[in-house]
Amino acid sequence: MPDQTPHPSQAELERLRRRVAELEHALEVHEWGGQLFHESNIPQLLLDLETGAILMANAAARQFYGTVLERGHIDSMCAEGLQWRRDLKSMVAANRYGVRVCRHHTDSGVRDIEAHYVVVNLRGRQIVHVIAFDITERLRAQEELQRAYRIESIGRLAGGIAHDFNNVLTAVIGFADLARGRVQDETTLRYIDGIIQAAERAANLNRQLLAYARRQVVQLCPLNLDIWLQNTLDILQRVLPEHITLQTEVEPKLSAIQGDPNLLLQIVLNLVVNARDAMPDGGIIRITLQHKTVRRPRPAVPAGRYVALSVADTGSGIPPEVLPHIFEPFFSTKPAGQGTGMGLAAVQGAVQQLGGFIEVESALGEGSCFTVYFPRLDPPNPPQHTSGNPTR
């Protein structure tokens, strides 16, 4: 009896082969997708579009967010007070895919996140696939760059104004000196002395502006800081009240540096006055000179061999939120009328003019320590035994 079983045609066999190949390919893509999700070093999440519940998180997300993920909902991660159902669901559902910069809670604190999301249909369920990029450091670097541009602009403006203002002050002081030599009346002499003193105070602030803008004329020469400090102590003592003690500690056989006596006086005087103002009830200011070798570069100080000048106080310390801004021009925590905000900015400008570096350590209730690093000057140039008194 002949076989009555129908045999598939060649076309049907080809169609079945193509279908099997498509299914195998789909399975491979699914496996690849799962591998990319789970083994990626970028945090990834799967959310339920309807509820905002966290359905799945890869290992990178679990490491990045920590215990925050244990709460199981996107609302617990959002650090901006937003809620999924009220604020985010409609936006995500309308756009289906997009990018949003937000802030998320993690075990290490609040981080800035660039979240890339796409809505996919998985077995009839709307799922939101989120890839989270941590951009905290990038935003911080951008902010620092913008602040540097602002400070550079202020420096150029201050330098231009200070240069012109210096010419005006020179004329005021010069004419006042001439007038003083021709006046005999004591009352008038006191008025003229007041004009000269006020002009000299303005000239001192002007020098700080020029130092910050790096437009002050610098006369570099080899200096022994230990001898320079010894000659400068009388000037420093004059700005301190009796209830503040000034102490010094100098390492023997200190190397010379390349410096300018006037700029050095401006640096140390500003740091001492700053320390004095931090101790209204009295305390100790300690000036230390010593050799320091920086083997590993730090954010403020590159590797090298230095003579380090430190000014430390026993004052109230600098709050952590204030510390990043202390070298900004016109930034001051003093009451209105009691500070120009140029002291530490001028110090930083003067230090940079001398090729040095400055860093600060401070803790609330434990005082502050400003350390200036000057590159050591190797022989054969003999250091000059200069006085700390500035020249006009």
C-alpha 267/C-alpha 264 separation (Å) is 5
| Cα–Cα dist 142/53, whole Å | 34
Count other C-beta atoms under 10 Å from residue 86's C-beta: 9
Tokens standing for 5? 């079983």
Structure tokens belonging to residue 137: 């450091």
Q: Render pLDDT for 310-351 as a digit per residue (tens, 0 to 9).
A: 999 998 888 887 877 777 765 565 544 444 445 677 788 888
Q: Which residue has the higher pLDDT, 129 or 143?
A: 129
Q: Left if phi > 0, otherwise alpha if psi is -120 to 50, otherwise beta: which for 91?
A: alpha
Pick the CATH number of 221-377 from 3.20.20.70, 2.60.120.260, 3.30.565.10, 2.60.34.10: 3.30.565.10
pLDDT average, residue stretch 166-170: 82
Fold exhibited by the domain 40-134: Beta-Lactamase (3.30.450)
Q: Where are the domains of the chain?
A: 40-134, 139-212, 221-377
What is the per-residue pLDDT for 341? 47
Band the pLDDT of 305: cuts 50, 70, 90: very high
Helix (H), strand (E), coil (C) string for 301-365: CCCEEEEEEEEEECCCCCCCCCHHHCCCCCCCCCCCCCCCCCHHHHHHHHHHHCCCEEEEEEECC
Q: What is the pLDDT of residue 158?
A: 66
Alpha-carbon distance of 225 to 257, in angstroms, equals 7
- In sequence order, the β-bridge partners of residue 73 are 53
CA distance linking residue 33 with residue 38, whole number of Å: 9
User: What does the alpha-carbon distance between residue 101 and residue 192 come to, in Å, rounded to a whole number?
Assistant: 62
Return the closest-CA partner of residue 319 out of 333, 338, 309.
333
In angstroms, the CA 348 to CA 329 distance is 10
Asked whether the beta carbons of 325 and 360 are under 8 A apart, the reply is: no
Q: Measuring CA to CA, how many Å separate 180 from each of 61, 70, 183, 185?
A: 77, 81, 5, 10
Mean residue pLDDT of the chain comes to 80
pLDDT tier, 201 (very low <50, low <70, confident <90, very high otherwise): confident
Q: Could you give the CA distance from residue 286 to residue 284 in angstroms, rounded to a whole number? A: 6
Residue where the block lists tokens 């070298």: 327
Structure tokens at 298: 């730090």
- HSE-up (13 A, CA, CB side) for residue 388: 20
- Quick: pLDDT tens for 43-92: 998 888 889 998 888 889 999 999 988 888 988 889 888 888 888 888 88
Q: Which residues pair with 311 in a beta bridge?
A: 287, 370
- Are 390 and 265 in contact, with CB atoms under 8 Å apart? yes
Cα angle value 39/41/43 (rounded, 5°): 100
User: Which band of pLDDT confidence, cut at 50, 70 and 90, is reported for residue 251?
Assistant: very high
Give the C-alpha separation, 257 to 304, whole Å: 13
Whole-model pTM?
0.47
The residue among 121 and 64 whose pLDDT is bigger is 64
- Topology classification of domain 139-212: Helix Hairpins (1.10.287)
Q: Which residue in 360, 357, 380 sits closest to 369, CA to CA?
A: 360
